[in-house]
Amino acid sequence: MENDKSYSRKHPIKSIIMVEVSFLLAVFIAGAIATINQLSYNSPILISFIPTALVLIVYFTWKGKWTSFGFEVGVVRTNWLYYLPLLAILVILCFQGFDYVPIETIAFYVGFATLVGFVEESIYRGIMIKILLPLGIVPAILTSSLLFSLTHVLNLLSGQSIGQTVLQLVYAFLIGIVLAQLFIKNGSIYPLILFHTLHNLIQFLGKGGSTAVLDGTVIVILALTAVSLALSLKKKYTNESIPY
């Protein structure tokens, strides 16, 4: 593992490119398999994310890296106030309303959303932030957030309007920034996985009744939170080393 560490320290950009390309390639291959076999719309995620999750679990366990990549609980208890904006966003998203769905469908989406939350947070916050932090807090936050947004470019293929797609990309970018800031500030990935899971679950089960008011409110909350956390991080880490 020392050789792996030294490579990521010496070549952080190459390491990030390798991680991102490998992940996107898995998603594209899964999409091709699903299209050829005429599988359901969520099949590409299942086909690509399940093996990815297994690889992450094996890697974190084999190398003893769970703690290194943010799987710590203690810090959440003392810093829970920082996550209130995320709770507010979840509450606002609930105003879109929900459809009635069978209990088995709910159970499926709980597992589906948890899978997505674990994989994406482990990659875009845990692994990427860890690799990029030696380059500085700002490059780490912006790069991981941009790459996180890149995965949502696939929405362009869903037939929605360009305006809607741009809004989703901006939304994903702001969420990426806030989650990256929280990860750097508190060092725990658990609340981020929980938020990501609940966020996706609400969208899966919701009526999709999003409005300009709801979207605008969420974006304003994200923007204000990003600014607040940026000022907090600047103050905290001026003349101090990053805690990992």
Please indicate whether residue 228 or residue 167 has the higher confidence score (pLDDT): 228
Is the pLDDT assigned to residue 63 strictly greater than 80?
A: yes
CA 125 to CA 177: how far, in whole Å? 10
Please indicate whether residue 193 or residue 95 has the higher confidence score (pLDDT): 193
Question: Counting beta carbons within 10 angstroms of the beta carbon of residue 61, is it exposed (0 to 12), middle (13 to 18) or buried (19 or more)?
Answer: exposed
Contact 177, 161 (CB under 8 A): no
C-beta neighbour count of 7 within 10 angstroms: 13
Is the pLDDT assigned to residue 237 strictly greater than 80?
A: no
Which residue(s) pair with 98 in the sheet?
206
Please report the pLDDT score of residue 150 as a whole number.
Answer: 80
Please indicate whether residue 43 or residue 235 has the higher confidence score (pLDDT): 43
Encode pLDDT of 119-136 as tens digits: 999 999 999 999 999 999
Which residue, among 205, 56, 35, has the nearest Cα to 117 in the 3D structure?
A: 56
Please indicate whether residue 242 or residue 45 has the higher confidence score (pLDDT): 45
Please report the pLDDT score of residue 159 as a whole number.
Answer: 53
Please report the pLDDT score of residue 93 as a whole number.
Answer: 92
Please report the pLDDT score of residue 131 as a whole number.
Answer: 93
Percent of the chain at pLDDT exceeding 70: 86
Q: How far is CA 150 from CA 111, 161, 234, in A?
A: 24, 17, 27
Contacts with 244 (C-beta within 8 Å, 6 or more apart), sequence order: 68, 130, 133, 187
Average pLDDT over residues 78-82: 80
Please report the pLDDT score of residue 25 as a whole number.
Answer: 92
Is the pLDDT assigned to residue 214 strictly greater than 90?
A: no
Is the pLDDT assigned to residue 81 strictly greater than 90?
A: no
Q: What is the mean pLDDT of the chain?
A: 87
Is the pLDDT assigned to residue 4 strictly greater than 90?
A: no
Please report the pLDDT score of residue 151 as a whole number.
Answer: 79
Please indicate whether residue 139 or residue 96 has the higher confidence score (pLDDT): 139
Whole-model pTM? 0.90
